[in-house]
Amino acid sequence: MTRVLIVEDERALLRALAMNLTARGYEVTEAETGTRALSAAAAVEHDLILLDLGLPDLSGFDVIRGVRAYAQTPIVVVSARTGSSDKVAALDLGADDYVTKPFNIDELLARLRAAVRRAATPDIVDVVQVGTCTVDLGAKTVTTANGAAVHLTPTEWHLLEALVRRPGKLVTGRALLTELRGTPEHTDPSYLRIYVAQLRRKLEPEPSRPRHLITEPGMGYRFHP
Amino acid sequence: MTRVLIVEDERALLRALAMNLTARGYEVTEAETGTRALSAAAAVEHDLILLDLGLPDLSGFDVIRGVRAYAQTPIVVVSARTGSSDKVAALDLGADDYVTKPFNIDELLARLRAAVRRAATPDIVDVVQVGTCTVDLGAKTVTTANGAAVHLTPTEWHLLEALVRRPGKLVTGRALLTELRGTPEHTDPSYLRIYVAQLRRKLEPEPSRPRHLITEPGMGYRFHP
DNA sequence: GCTGGTCCTCACGGATTCGTCACGCCCGGC
DNA sequence: GCCGGGCGTGACGAATCCGTGAGGACCAGC
């Protein structure tokens, strides 16, 4: 199931696109303003963002920047502006494609498919072992050694994913915070510690002596497989 | 250096594109037919393929299929055909973008940049050998010969990076100090020695007889690969 | 309105790291 | 031979950072 976020202030077009994509099996989230788009993008991980440049509050460029600050989600821009300077700006800011209105729906769909296909990671490591626990990133489930299910809150999931997706790599505290919240910074770094501790309590065999969710003092955290 | 393969049978356009891209620092290979394009793509690994659909021998679709059979090189199609069916077919066969003639050169260049950027591996693996130890600057890990992990403090990392990023070059003590702390100077230069010593103790086979973290008396330090 | 769950702040004890001091060594100059 | 400057090493307070517990704010469901 491909999750796509549609950002479009023109209501009629938004509904038409949403219905069209839903009918084709996409899971659609809608946003009519730039701020809502950013919060929606930060709340749920999407596989694709369909973005109209003309928004009432923020510039579409700001949305691109805001998303690219922490995620590589494919962004396909749909805009009435046909000037090449707008296209160049959007593409160089990190957009993946640029379609001008009016567009042919079949072409747009093909471009969406291409964007999603490109972003598909060839190495889908969905199941990871964390000590005695099994983490299924696709199904969003954690099961302990004896088969019991472990419940994780959304924040805990985001944190665990951010660490597990980069096995062995050090992830700095700021990077984790920007991944947890859309806002880049201005947050107490001490608040990471709580969720790391909770994850350890739920996943590590010896929470006081962590072997997989390792802290690097002064630098960040690291997932050790 | 980005290597791009231009496939275009219209000679004037081919030369114009080639000159334009060469002037911008791309390394250009030219092909005027589909068969030459396929052999050129197979001979050398390219970072990007700029493909005209209208070729004298093969169909451009065949070229896409032929390349996609074994490689994921980004393919940007340039075509005079504006029909949506052609776009859909090319994109679904594996093309990454589709630009119709006549095109704006700035837009085309932006789309090429976007295609190359997407294909770039996100994790720049810069791995350096320091004697028997392996230093992964991206993951911030140091592993010794037998695979054991070595722990480095933030200051040690900064110092090691500052030296390793300039292999063979002499780095003056002041430069190292300014890199370690934001403050430019007014620091005891003797304080470098402690961290250099600690790095040697952790990385060098014989810390008392350093072979890679070399001190140049009266001047600074040097990393010898 | 109540309840359960989640998010986030605050404060405190402990561990890690930082930066300085002191001391011994090597080497070139006198 | 003597000496002084630069360098390597060990040790020690102090500052910083981390783990943990408690507790209030907020939201959804009943």
Distances (CA, A) of A51 to A80, A90, B191: 12, 11, 53
pTM for the complete prediction? 0.67
Residue B163 has pLDDT above 80, yes or no: yes
Q: What is the mean pLDDT of residues B156-179?
A: 89
Residue linked to tokens 């998303």: A67
DSSP 8-state class, residue B25: T
Q: Is the shortest CB-to-strand distance from A173 to strand D under 7 Å?
A: yes
Structure tokens at A10: 């023109």
**Do A84 and B97 make contact, defined as CB atoms within 8 angstroms?**
no
Q: Is A95 on the interface with B (CB under 8 A)?
A: yes
Confidence of residue B141 (pLDDT cuts 50, 70, 90): very high
CA-based nearest distance A146→chain B, Å: 31
Mean pLDDT taken over chain A: 89
- Contacts of residue B1, defined as CB under 8 A and 6 or more positions apart, other chains included, come to B25, B26, B27
Distance in angstroms, CA of B218 to C1' of D3?
19
Lowest mean pLDDT among A65-69, B14-18, B65-69, B98-102: A65-69
Lookup: tokens for A141: 């489930």
> Which residues does chain A have within 8 Å of residue B157's beta carbon, measured at their own beta carbons?
219
Among the listed ranges B14-23, B58-67, B204-213, which one has the minimum average pLDDT value? Answer: B204-213
The arithmetic mean of pLDDT across residues B172-189, rounded, is 74
Gap from B206 CA to C23 C1', Å: 23
Q: What is the pLDDT of residue A44?
A: 79
The token pair that represents B164 in the structure block: 């390793």
Measure CB to CB from residue A96 to each of B88, B95, B114 and give the nearest one. Answer: B114
pLDDT > 60? residue A47: yes
Query: In this structure, what token pair is assigned to residue A57?
Result: 């509050």
| Residue A186 banded pLDDT, cuts 50, 70, 90 | low
pLDDT for the residue B29: 97
